[in-house]
Amino acid sequence: MSRNVADAARKFLLLGQCVPTVKQNAAKIRVKRLELDENLLMYFRKEEFYYCHDSEKICKTGDIVLIQALPEKLTKLITHEIKEVVYPFGDITDPVTGKKVSKEQYKEDIERQTELYGRLKSTFNYNKAPPRGWQDGKKDFTSKPTYTKFHVFDENDPYGI
């Protein structure tokens, strides 16, 4: 049964989330699947990880991306390539309507309410907000190289996972 899944993974596009990795020119993608337990006749969630070729660094940690298998492996680990970034991290889009979402409301509805009732000082303006990445190096460390912590030190390093 796992062989059929592996064959399907080579032929089709997979949807996954980018997670931190130590590899250079590669992204680690987590793909969630449902696997049938034939004894219980229930589906259980299973996560698989793929290393994808990403030399242009088009995806960051947390992005939802489409990946496809390469015709031949680049290395022993890198077997797939990133086709496109479907949903950037933090930019939530309702897949049914295609509208932008903030918490439990559409951003259009929030803007309509601010037009009707007036804008408060504490109301956030989504139209004037800068795109993701403007705090790169200040509060956003997703583009920095990460490493796995094997020891606990006194100082907290934001690049360790």
Q: What is the pLDDT of residue 121?
A: 66
Q: Which amino acid is at 45?
A: R
Cβ neighbours of 72 (radius 10 Å):
6
* Mean pLDDT over the full length of the chain: 82
pLDDT at 158: 62
In percent, how much of the chain has pLDDT > 90? 34
The Cα–Cα gap between 139 and 49 comes to 27
Amino acid at site 117: Y
In the block, which residue shows the tokens 């064959």? 7
Which domains are present in the chain?
2-87 (2.40.50.140)
How many Cβ atoms sit within 10 Å of the Cβ of residue 106?
14
The closest of 1, 6, 21 to 145, measured between CA atoms, is 21
Do residues 106 and 100 make contact, with C-beta atoms less than 8 angstroms apart?
Answer: yes
pLDDT above 60 (res 1):
no
DSSP 86: E
DSSP state of 129: P
Claim: this prediction has a pTM higher than 0.85: no
